[in-house]
Amino acid sequence: MFAPVIAALLLGGAGRGPGVAGGPPGVGLRGPAAADGAPVLGLRGPAVAGVGVSLDVPTVKGNVSIQLPKGWVSVGGRALLAAQAPAADKDATGQFQASLTISQDAGNNVNGAAQQAIVAKQMPGYRVMEAPTPVVIGGVPGVAFGGSFKSGTVDLRSRQYMFAVNNQVYTITITCLSSRWAAYQGVVEASVGTFVVKK
């Protein structure tokens, strides 16, 4: 079940996380606490969030839809949906084209801590940047976590969102240059906030 998450991290050829200070207004930690008192990340689409981000019309693949950031293109691959930013970004560590993937696997359990531990074991130099945090998107509860790692010399930042719906686990992975995370964070959070699974 977890191999697609690792593949998704490197699709584009990864920053700060949900609810951290410094994100755009309207996006981040908000809403009620979970049953255990932990904050719940509730993402909202751009019209509700009012963050002025630009998203495209919904892209539908199978039983899911999401509004990708304007200009991002859907690309082929093994994932249910894979998309990339219009162009690669460059910094002192190298070059990488930001990506968003959605994978689907059988299951009905989402364990962010276990998944992040698997990613940490499989990705060279993975550093936890965001511990697993409860999320709710479109009324569907899940978990989000993120970290940074290197692909060769390139310093990447990623975030994963995981949801269990109808005995399927959906994982949304965003990956970009670590140095570009702040530039992408608002628009990818708004995009993920439009994620819908037909039940």
Residue 47: what pLDDT?
A: 39
Residue 67: what pLDDT?
A: 95
What's the sign of the alpha-carbon dihedral 157, 164, 43, 187? positive
C-alpha 21/C-alpha 105 separation (Å) is 32
Q: Mean pLDDT by 10-residue block, N- to C-terminus, for the chain (199 residues)?
A: 42 34 31 39 42 82 92 87 96 97 94 95 93 93 96 96 95 97 94 92
117: helix, coil or strand?
helix
DSSP strand E in the chain: where? 29-33, 39-42, 55-61, 64-69, 73-75, 81-84, 89-91, 94-96, 99-106, 127-137, 140-151, 154-165, 168-177, 196-197
Residue 4: what pLDDT?
A: 41
Residue 129: what pLDDT?
A: 97
Residue 190: what pLDDT?
A: 95
Parallel, antiparallel, or unpaired for β 127-137 and 196-197? unpaired
Show me where the domains of the chain are located: 3-197
In terms of phi and psi (left: phi > 0; alpha: psi -120 to 50; beta: otherwise), the region of 47 is alpha
Residue 53: what pLDDT?
A: 73
Please choose, from the candidates 179, 123, 173, the residue with its C-alpha nearest in 3D space to the C-alpha of residue 145. Answer: 173
Residue type, 127: R
Fold that domain 3-197 belongs to in CATH: Protein Transport Mog1p; Chain A (3.40.1000)
Please choose, from the candidates 176, 163, 135, the residue with its C-alpha nearest in 3D space to the C-alpha of residue 9. Answer: 176
Angle at 169 between CA 164 and CA 174, to 5 degrees: 110
Residue 52: what pLDDT?
A: 62
| Backbone torsions φ then ψ of 30, nearest 5 degrees | -165, 170
